[in-house]
Amino acid sequence: MPGLSVLTGVGEAIEIWRGGVNTWECDEMGHMNVRFYVTRAMEGLVGLAAALGLPHAFTQEAGSTLIVGEQHIRFLREAHAGAALHMTGGVIEMTENGARLLQLLWHSDSGALAATFQTVVTHATPAEGRPFAWSERTLARADALRVAVPDQAAARSVSLTPVAPQAGLARADELGLARIAQGAVSPADCDVFGRMRAEQFIGRVSDGIPRLVRGFRDAVVNAVPDQPKRVGGAVLEYRLIHLDWPRAGDRLEVRSGLVDVDARTKRLVHWMVDPDTGKAWGTSEAIAITLDLDARKIVPITDVARDALMKQATPGLSL
């Protein structure tokens, strides 16, 4: 992130959220669905904003707010119904009008990390989303909240380097990307400023992913000698980039494809596009696994399965 402010010292993350997992937040895999991880991260962002001196940043009366531009997520340990969770957070780095923030979601009983987030935000006017500089007060608070990125929260299988996104409807059609979801943004999907809430992107991908990966899973399972009885999937790592924010009534499509395969994981790319204008609402990259639902273990990808899967990959597909 260019133009970093100088932050002195490194401290400990502070608690910014606490709660648990509801049964209705768990999906057919038996664990909390990815959209609710992002929902927790957004609630935690409200707490972190308050610690930065912006307690009303997400209210209708806000003088400024934080707009999420990007999230990097690592899913480390499953969270099941009834699990107690809490989140801590801090500041990784600051720019004149932006920041990279750290959010760590913990299993409260065991002290194990459930997931980690690096969330990139812009300090902006609430209605127009126009970036403007942090106050000296907020910069001072950010200095006191500085944290280092632990190894478990660092990018592992995706790159966090800046990219020039290629996403768009015309390019999706050109590449033959599968339409895995389509619909419209409802008022309930939006925040108090009228922008679609961040968890809607990953949630729409989650809703549509069976359309894309059912055949991939069959290829993986059919190539192993001891075939699991029940098979599903999970994501280990995600990078989401928000390019624009749809509002209530705007239509959307999610177009997706397979990029690459290794001995354990599949690399998938998802674009959320506006089917009316052709522009991209957002782009994302996911590192996914095939999961033995009884053993709760990764089903390995054999060379035979990899060859079969790579025949279905989309050359040239990226963020």
As a three-state string, the secondary structure of 77-131 is: CCCCCCCEEEEEEEEEEECCCEEEEEEEEEECCCCCEEEEEEEEEEEECCCCCCE
Q: 15-62, pLDDT tens digit by residue?
A: 999 999 999 999 988 899 999 999 999 999 999 999 999 999 999 999
CB 1 within 8 A of CB 95: yes
Residues 273 and 195 in one domain: yes
**In a domain? residue 169:** yes
Tell me: pLDDT of 199 over 80.
yes
**In a domain? residue 4:** no
CB 93 within 8 A of CB 102: no
Pick the last residue of a domain from 109, 131, 156: 156
| Side chain identity, residue 251 | R
pLDDT score, position 232 = 87
Q: Which residues pair with 105 in a beta bridge?
A: 87, 115
pLDDT score, position 6 = 34
Residues 199 and 240 in one domain: yes
CATH code, 60: 3.10.129.10
- Band of residue 10 on the pLDDT scale cut at 50, 70, 90: low
Mean of per-residue pLDDT scores for the chain = 93
- Residue 176, Cβ density class (10 Å: 0-12 exposed, 13-18 middle, ≥19 buried): exposed
Tell me: pLDDT of 9 over 60.
no
Residue 311's contacts (CB-CB under 8 Å, 6 or more residues apart) are: none
**Distance separating the N- and C-terminal Cα atoms of the chain:** 18
pLDDT score, position 72 = 98
Residue 282's contacts (CB-CB under 8 Å, 6 or more residues apart) are: 167, 201, 240, 241, 242, 243, 244, 271, 272
Per the structure block, which two tokens stand in for 176? 């033959």
Q: Which of 116-130, 203-217, 258-272 has the lowest mean pLDDT?
A: 203-217
Residues 260 and 203 in one domain: yes
| Side chain identity, residue 316 | G
Across the range 108-127, mean pLDDT stands at 97
pLDDT score, position 8 = 40
pLDDT score, position 211 = 84
pLDDT score, position 12 = 82
Tell me: pLDDT of 195 over 70.
yes
Dihedral of CA atoms 82, 83, 88, 89 in degrees, nearest 10, equals -80
Q: 71-82, pLDDT tens digit by residue?
A: 999 999 999 999
**In a domain? residue 2:** no
Residue 59's contacts (CB-CB under 8 Å, 6 or more residues apart) are: 192
Tell me: pLDDT of 206 over 90.
yes
**Structural domains of the chain, count:** 2
Helix locations, the chain, DSSP H: 34-51, 136-144, 169-175, 199-222, 303-310
Tell me: pLDDT of 108 over 90.
yes
Residues 106 and 80 in one domain: yes
How far is 279 from 281, CA to CA, in rounded Å?
7
Pick the last residue of a domain from 107, 140, 156: 156
Residues 88 and 198 in one domain: no
Residues 53 and 183 in one domain: no
Pick the last residue of a domain from 125, 156, 187: 156
pLDDT score, position 312 = 93
- Band of residue 214 on the pLDDT scale cut at 50, 70, 90: confident
Residues 170 and 302 in one domain: yes
Residues 32 and 152 in one domain: yes
pLDDT score, position 3 = 35
**In a domain? residue 319:** no
Residues 275 and 183 in one domain: yes
* Rg of the chain (C-alpha set): 20
Residues 169 and 306 in one domain: yes
**In a domain? residue 229:** yes
What's the domain range around 77? Answer: 9-156
Across the range 228-252, mean pLDDT stands at 95
**In a domain? residue 81:** yes
